[in-house]
Each structure stands twice: as structure tokens, then as C-alpha cells.
Structure 1
Amino acid sequence: MIFEIAHIHIKPDTHAAFEAAVKEAVPLFRRARGCLSTRLERSIEQGDHYRLVVGWETLENHTVDFRGSADFQEWRRLVGGFFAAPPQVEHMHTVLTGF
């Protein structure tokens, strides 16, 4: 499994609407090929900063299958207007689990 981690900085005072839009988008991820999990985390220190963490079976499930889909376009339609800057996305895999 790999994790897509999107570092998202949103416009001030749009938290509730942004979080509602991400919640609305959950079915898009749920039906995406190879998508195993999603979670949204909000920074305590920088309240306008979020991390969207999506578990994928393979890198291509995200970069090819999802990004090439109509559901990706719908995702961007739902949340893109909240972005204060383009999201920074990286892909990670677990190399050690302590406990």
C-alpha cells in the first residue's frame, strides 16, 4: 500500500465549508479503483492547513486511474475553490511500524 499525502492550505474562514466538501467527496474515493482509505487531518498550530491522506493499492491507482477519471474532476470542482495555494502532493510507503 502507498499513501498519497496532500498538503492543503485553504483560504481563511472556509473550514466548515471545506470540510463539508471533502465529506461530500468521500464516495468519489470509495469507488475509485484501488482506493483503500481516506482521512482528513487539520493542523492544530496552523488552522488553515490540512493533510488529506489517501491509501492506495498502487501508485498508478492514484496517478493514472483516479487522476484520469471524471471523479477526479468532480473532486477538484468540489474543493478547488477553497485552496489558497496549489496542494503539494507526495506519495509514501511504510518502511517501519514501531507498534
Structure 2
Amino acid sequence: MVLEAVLLNVKDGYESDFEIAFLKASIIISSMNGYLSHELHRCIEVKGKYLLLVNWKTLEDHTIGFRASTEYQEWKKLLHHFYDPFPIVEHFEKVELKQ
């Protein structure tokens, strides 16, 4: 499993519009091959800052399957105009600690 983590900075005054658009976009991402789950968190200390966490089966499910899809074009139309600056997407894998 791969965890996609993205800090999203939404333009001031657009937070409500972003959350409504994200609800629509959630339908898109949740229909993709390799998608497992996602969560959107609103920052308590900083207005307009969000954390998006998406679990994928593989890195390629996100970087190739989703990003190269026609569905991603709709995702972009719904969400990308809200961000300033544009977010950096990072991927993580769980560290299995053995004692």
C-alpha cells in the first residue's frame, strides 16, 4: 500500500467552495483502479490549509493510472484553481518495525 500525502493551500475566501468541489471530486478518485481510501483534513491553526491523504494499492495506480486518465482531467477542473501555491504530492510506504 502507498500513502499519497498532499498539503493543500486554498486561496483565502474559497474554503467553502473548495470543500463542495472536493466532495464532487471524491466520487471521481474513489472510482479509480487501485484506490483504497482517502481523507481530507482541515488545519486548525492555519485558515485555508488542508491535508489530503489517499491510500493506493501501488504507486503506479496513482502516478500512471489516475494521472493519465480522463477522470484526472475532471479532477483538475474541479480543484486545481483553488490552490496557491500549487501543492507538492509525496508518496509514503509504511515502515514495518520489528522488535
For this structure pair, what is the TM-score category when the shorter chain's length is used for normalisation? over 0.9
User: What's the counterpart of residue 51 of structure 1?
Assistant: 51
User: What's the counterpart of residue 22 of structure 1?
Assistant: 22
Unaligned runs of 5+ in 2: none
Unaligned runs of 5+ in 1: none
- Give the ranges of 4+ consecutive aligned residues of structure 1 lying more than 2 Å apart after TM superposition: none
In the TM superposition, 1:57-96 aligns within 5 A as 57-96=57-96
Equivalents in 1 of 2:65, 2:12: separation in Å?
32
When normalised by structure 1's length, the TM-score is 0.92
When normalised by structure 2's length, the TM-score is 0.92
Equivalents in 2 of 1:58, 1:96: separation in Å?
17
What RMSD over aligned residues (CA atoms) do the two structures have, in Å? Answer: 1.2
Task: Say how many residue pairs are matched.
Answer: 97
Cα offset for 1:92?
0.7
User: What's the counterpart of residue 4 of structure 2?
Assistant: 4
User: What's the counterpart of residue 13 of structure 1?
Assistant: 13
Cα offset for 1:74?
0.6
Cα offset for 1:26?
1.2
**1:37-74 CA-partner distances (Å, limit 9, x unpaired):** 01101111112111111100000000000000011111
